[in-house]
Structure 1
Amino acid sequence: MTEGHAVDTLPGGASSSPPTPRALIVSQYVKSVAFAVPAAPGVHAAPKGLPALHLDLDVDARQVEGSATLFEVALTLRCRANASAGQGPPRAVFEADIAYAALVSLQGATPAALEPLLLIEVPAMIFPAARNVLADLTREAGFAPVLMQQVDFAALYRIRRAAA
């Protein structure tokens, strides 16, 4: 074995590639939740079909104070269900606001990789848990569970960047 081959096999040697940026979830949690049924109990006494749903989704990331590698990524889901009130304006059936967050440790992330990791990769990882919270809340409130489809966070990121 030649000396050059020995250097090539050592970790951190000249031929090793830079580490792949990774986001490791330290913890996931419901940061806040609000659920209201403004027209209760009447909305349950005389249900009139499925309400029209309006969903909003937002992603926010911030560095944890005092740490160079820890970030909090919060996924906010807002769901409003409205029922037609005949000739009047639609009436609110329920309103849900959920902030589901993750504490994330970034490893090997360059400044260029930071935003895509925090605004695309991490939200995609925590989205299934956040949508489960929404489905459980609506079901427990006596309504059909709101079942959200998977979200393309990369497309949302591109739209957000184009608008900025």
Structure 2
Amino acid sequence: MSDQQTNGQDQQEAASSLPMHVLAQYVKDLSFENPNAPQSLLPGQPQPQVNIGVDVQAQPMGEDVYEVVLKLHCEAKQGDGVAFLVEVAYGGLFQLPGLPQEHHRAVLLIEGPRMLFPFARAIVAACTQDGGFPPLMINPIDFVDLYRRQTGPQPSAEA
């Protein structure tokens, strides 16, 4: 019985020692354009070709409190025309209590957008569906890879 209590205490301590707390999340900016409706929605139109851009930004808001904004830019073209355009900036306020400063940037730019992505994805899907198109379900994004590409190669410790 004491083993169960110890395991329960360990789980509570692990949960309370997570490096990031979500204080709030919100739509910061949202735009949907359907410039060629209703013609773009008529039967027989070509399948839209969708291009998706992703950007993540973080800025300090106070002591150990940061705003992380995930921006998704989705443009669908049918032939030479634009079928629809969706832009969403979805933000979150995160607190990083006790996390060493040198880890803040990586945690904010990887874990922050990872937590925000499902909500931004749902907004994009709802907008496209409400615009008369099938819901655009954005594939999961590898935020570790995105972070590595943005920060460039890291110097080797052995060099």
Aligning the two structures, in what range does the TM-score lie when normalised by the shorter sequence?
Answer: 0.7 to 0.9
Q: Answer whether contact 1:21 1:113 (CA < 8 A) is retained.
A: no
- Measured in 2, the distance between the counterparts of 1:20 and 1:113 equals 15
SS at match of 1:63: strand
1:38 correspondence with 2:28: no
> Which one of the candidate residues 73, 78, 93 is aligned to 1:78?
73
Aligned residue pair count? 139
Q: Which structure carries more helix by proportion?
A: 2
- Measured in 1, the distance between the counterparts of 2:76 and 2:66 equals 33
Runs of 4+ in 1 over 3 A off after TM superposition: none
- Measured in 2, the distance between the counterparts of 1:34 and 1:145 equals 16
- Measured in 2, the distance between the counterparts of 1:119 and 1:21 equals 16
Question: TM-score normalized by structure 2?
Answer: 0.82
Q: Answer whether contact 1:20 1:109 (CA < 8 A) is retained.
A: no
Compute the displacement of 1:45 (Å).
3.0
SS at match of 2:151: helix
Amino acid at match of 1:29: Y
Compute the displacement of 1:46 (Å).
4.5
Match of 1:131 in 2: 121
SS at match of 1:35: strand
Q: Which has the larger radius of gyration?
A: 1
Compute the displacement of 1:108 (Å).
1.1
Give me the CA root mean square deviation: 1.8
What percentage of aligned pairs have identical amino acids? 32
Measured against aligned partners, the alpha-carbon deviations of 1:105-128 in whole angstroms (never above 9, x if no partner) come to: 111121211011110011101111
Q: Answer whether contact 1:81 1:95 (CA < 8 A) is retained.
A: yes
- Measured in 2, the distance between the counterparts of 1:91 and 1:60 equals 30
Structure 1: 5+ residue runs without aligned partners?
Answer: 1-18, 85-89
- Measured in 2, the distance between the counterparts of 1:55 and 1:154 equals 18
- Measured in 1, the distance between the counterparts of 2:66 and 2:86 equals 25
Structure 2: 5+ residue runs without aligned partners?
Answer: 1-15, 154-159
Question: TM-score normalized by structure 1?
Answer: 0.80
Match of 1:52 in 2: 49
